[in-house]
Each structure stands twice: as structure tokens, then as C-alpha cells.
Amino acid sequence: MAVLTAGALLLSGCGAGSAAGDDGDVTLRFYWWGHDGRHENTQELIDVYEEKNPGVTIEPEFSDWSGYWDRLATQTAAGDAPDVIQMDALYLREYAENGTLLDLSAMDFSGIAAGVRDAGATDDGVWAMPHGMTVMTLAANDSMIADSGVDLPDDTSWTWEEFSAYSAELAEATGEYGVSPLLESAGLQTWLRQHGRQITTDSGDLGFEPADAAAYFQFQLDLLDDGGYPPPSASAEEQPPGSAEQSMTGRGEAVMGTWWDTMIGGLSEYADSSFTPLRMPSIDGDGDHQMFFKPSMFYSGSSDTDHPEEVQDFIEFLATSEESTEINLTDRGMPAAEGALESIRDELTEQEQILADHAAELDSEVGDPTPIPPEGASAFPDHVYRYSQEVLFGRQTPQEAAEAMHADMQSDLDDAG
């Protein structure tokens, strides 16, 4: 998820759901999170849609990320949910299972990239249409690589062991850390996928055993022992998902770091260097990286809306229209609509073009999307971070930390159920 700056909270739209005037006109409320630039872009999109659809009025409501979900929960509990909701994967299943979301099964998703086309679906229905997509990468600082005299690796075939050795080589050549701490839960997810596991299953259960996570924690210890990893005292200051400006990668203290590709543009500005996105390592170097596209965000509709057809039409406009692609560019992620990214290529920065090429290369390689996280899973990234620290500081063995993390995650699911 991209780092979001504070935006104004607009408390608009009174009464539950959508409204129709005496003349048959339709009013839909649309709620999204984001920074000021996104608010301006979205209002421009609303103006375009209203001009193309006389009789439909879109009332904007927006917030920054920090207050977004509390307000949405309050609205939903009061029977006052917005008609159209910008949605995130962490909360999608919760709202779907609570009956809050409109089933979008009747919509045509053929124009959405195959890698994320079904990412908003469960066995019970289709609850969201993706707008953009992102992929976890190892971002390598081009300036630091050039100064080090060390060539970039062949990321199509490198193993985890080769990645560790390469990190150590970079550290020795630069005097900085080879790679910043692997604290993102997507790193664990990639590791598990390569071992035939997932953090959670399609049915919403935990999809791994403690021994699987223990191996990942042990790998972090191996990175530390090999010399390319920051010491525990330094990694403890790296808070996921950290801001680009405050991160080791952004400050030029680590040559590589794990980043969602949609965040690398901002990272490049703070580091004053371009970055080369690298594939995650694989077990045997056979190219089975099990990387995956994640929707950067979705659009969902309220099940309480009085105008489901208009809601679905507006969602399709937001996610797939040429106007949306041209106005949003990559602000909501690399556009998931087929052909959209190529259509705006000339308007992208040099760094964004590098990322677009990388995403195109991965298109035929990525695995299936990850299951929609179940209710209670929103704290899982914090657990991964916390128990990684327990291992790195030597307070717990990898197996002890893995068992404790597994138990905490199961407790979160049980409490939510």
C-alpha cells in the first residue's frame, strides 16, 4: 500500500445510501482514502462522469488512511454506508461476509488483467473490482550498485542463498547494508508460496504450520550471519510499511530493500537515484519465484444502495475507462485494465517506465493471486514484524517465534469468528 499523506476529511452526504430526486435523478456517495492530489484527481473524474451521465450526481467523501476504516465501520453500523467504496484486500472479506457489499457477479471483468481479475472474488460472490495492481520487489539502488563495482544479479535464476551472498558482497563493497530488513509480510507470503503454502487459505484458515515460518525466520538469521543484513538495533528502527523518506533504502543506508513497486517512485525521489526492481529469489533457482500481483486497491458497492445498476456503471468507469487511466496515471497503482499501462507510457516518469517494463516481464510469470485475507487478519503484518525482531535479537529461537506467531494469528481469527 502506498504511503499516504494526510488529506482533509469531508463529511458530506446525509442519510443512508443513495438518493433519487423527484425528477428521477440519482445521487451516489463515493468514499475513498488518499492524499490531496488523489482527491483533486478523483473530483476531476467525478466531473467527467457526471458530464457523460446527466441525471447522476456523485457526492464525494474522502479521508486519509488513518481515519478511513473507523469512519466506514461507523457508517456501516448506522446503516449509512456509501454507495461506492474504495476497498482494500485486508478488509474485503470482512465487509463481504458481514453482508455489507454488493455482489458484482453480473459485471464484465474481462477487461481486467488476468493476474488480479479474480482477486475480489470468493466462493460466495464477487465483491470488488480492482483498480490497480502492485508486486513486491527487491528494489536495488542504481547509484550505489554502480559505485560498488558489483554487477546486478541474474534475478531470473538466483536462489535465497545466492541472494544472501550477494547482500554480503554489496555490504562489503559499499560499507552500507546489503539489504534492509525483510519485515513485510509479503516476503513471508512469497517464501510460503514457494513451499506450497499460504498465510491463509481460500476458506479463511491459516495455511501454514509453525515449521514453515521457522524456516523463514532462520533465513533472516542466516542473512545476518552472512554480513549483508542490518544488526537488530538498526532493524528495530525500520517500521513496516515504513515511509520512503525514513527508510534505510530511502536514506541510502541499504543498497536493496523489499518494496511494493508502486512505492518505488517516491523512494527514488528521496534516495536521489533510480532503482532497478528485482525478482524475489527462489528455492532452487528454477524461476519458480511464486511472485504475485496484489490489487493496490479495489472498488466495491454497498448492498444497501438503491441504485445497484448505477453503482456498477460508476465502478466500471473508475476501474476501466480511458478517462480514469489518463487522470489517475499510477497514483492508484499500475492500472489493472488491459492495455491501460501502455496507453499512458509516454506520460510516465523514467522510473515509472522501468517499473512498467518490470511488471510486463512478470505478467507471464506470476502465480495466482493470494486468497482474500479473512476477518481478523489485519494484524498479521504486525505479528510478522514483531516476531522477526524477537528472533533477530535472540530473545526467541526461530521455532519458538514461529509457534507464538502462529498461535497469535489463530487467536485473531478465532476472536473475529
Cα distances from 185 to residues 58, 109, 172, 281, 316, in angstroms, run 36, 28, 28, 16, 31
Mutual orientation of helices 380-392 and 398-416 as an angle, nearest 10°?
160
Q: How confident is the model at residue 169 (pLDDT cuts 50, 70, 90)?
A: very high
pLDDT at 35: 86
DSSP assignments along 18-67, one per residue: -EE-TTS-EEEEEEEE--HHHHHHHHHHHHHHHHHSTTEEEEEEEE-HHH
CA-to-CA dists, residue 411 to 97, 376, 416, angstroms = 19, 9, 8
Average pLDDT score over the chain? 90
Of 170 and 10, which is predicted with more confidence?
170
pLDDT at 17: 41
68-90 pLDDT per residue, tens: 999 999 999 999 999 999 999 98
In three-state secondary structure terms, 11 is coil
pLDDT recorded at residue 126: 96
Q: What is the pLDDT of residue 242?
A: 59
Region 174-191: mean pLDDT is: 94
Burial of 313 (0-12, 13-18, 19+ CB in 10 A): middle
Query: With contact defined as beta carbons under 8 Å apart, do 101 and 70 qualify?
Result: no
Note whether 65 and 39 are within 8 A (CB).
no
Rounded to two decimals, what is the model's pTM?
Answer: 0.84
Q: What percent of the chain has pLDDT over 70?
A: 93
Residue 370 has pLDDT above 50, yes or no: yes
Q: Where are the alpha helices (DSSP H) in 114-242?
A: 142-148, 160-174, 185-194, 210-226, 232-235
SS3 72: helix
What are the pLDDT digits (tens) for 312-326?
A: 999 999 999 999 999
Cα 125 from Cα 279, distance rounded (Å) = 33
* pLDDT value of residue 238: 83
What does the pLDDT look like over 141-156, one tens digit per residue?
A: 999 999 999 999 999 9
